[in-house]
Amino acid sequence: MGHSMLYRPRQEIAALLVLHLACVSFWVGSLLPLTRLARGRDLEAPAILASWSRLARPIVLVLVASGITLAVLMVRRLDLLYATAYGWGLTVKILLVAVMLALAARHAFILVPAAARGERGAGERLARLIRLEAGVGAPCILGGGRDGLDPPARCRAPYSELSLPGAEPRPITRA
């Protein structure tokens, strides 16, 4: 959880981060099995790929929504975004995720239906693009791990601008 636990609202940030990471794990963790399935000769592969694609859509939507919410909570002010390495790293991650989303859309709406129709070479093209998607996803994951090393942009704003309305600062006491 890193530095994200230093900011309010702690519980909400923690829950969003766990949700976000679970969705990332689902998406990126499924790419290798999907590559093997697309490349294989299983007659049920197109139906399985189509089913997975339908299942993945709401999960990816939650991933994007939780990521946007976390970014808003960590950055707070757009003018602070490029004041830190965290903001620059976040921008690169957003661009990489946009590429992954474009590839995923191509899979779901063009290549999986082509494989279901039995088009020659569709499975191999799909497997190749899924590998590309995984290659784009790797720096996103590494960047996510690096996020904990850089203080977020909100560190440059006065504390009064960082708290949610009604969330008054409380001193941290050690037991």
In a domain, 120, yes or no: yes
User: Does residue 105 sit in helix, strand or coil?
Assistant: helix
Residue range 156-160: average pLDDT? Answer: 47
Q: Return the pLDDT at 155.
A: 54
Given a cut of 70, whether residue 94 has pLDDT beyond it is yes
Q: Return the pLDDT at 9.
A: 67
In a domain, 170, yes or no: no
In a domain, 172, yes or no: no
Q: How many separate domains does the chain show?
A: 1
Q: Return the pLDDT at 5.
A: 56
pLDDT digits (tens, 9 = 90+) for 38-84: 987 788 888 899 899 899 999 999 999 999 998 888 887 787 778 77
In a domain, 64, yes or no: yes
In a domain, 144, yes or no: yes
Lowest mean pLDDT, pick from 8-12, 27-31, 45-49, 88-92: 8-12
Q: How far apart are CA 13 and CA 18, in angstroms?
A: 9
Of residues 120 and 86, more confidently modeled: 120
Q: How far apart are CA 122 and CA 124, in angstroms?
A: 6
In a domain, 117, yes or no: yes
Q: How far apart are CA 155 and CA 144, in angstroms?
A: 18
Q: How far apart are CA 131 and CA 112, in angstroms?
A: 15
Residue range 143-171: average pLDDT? Answer: 55
Residue 164: DSSP 8-state: P
In a domain, 163, yes or no: no
Q: Return the pLDDT at 158.
A: 44
Does this model's pTM top 0.85? My answer is no
Q: How far apart are CA 14 and CA 91, in angstroms?
A: 21
In a domain, 173, yes or no: no
Q: How far apart are CA 1 and CA 11, in angstroms?
A: 11
**In 3D, which of 8, 4, 12, 14 has the Cα closest to residue 165?**
8
* Four-residue CA torsion sign, 112, 59, 134, 70: positive
pLDDT category at 162 given cuts 50, 70, 90 is very low
Residue 54 lies in domain? 2-157
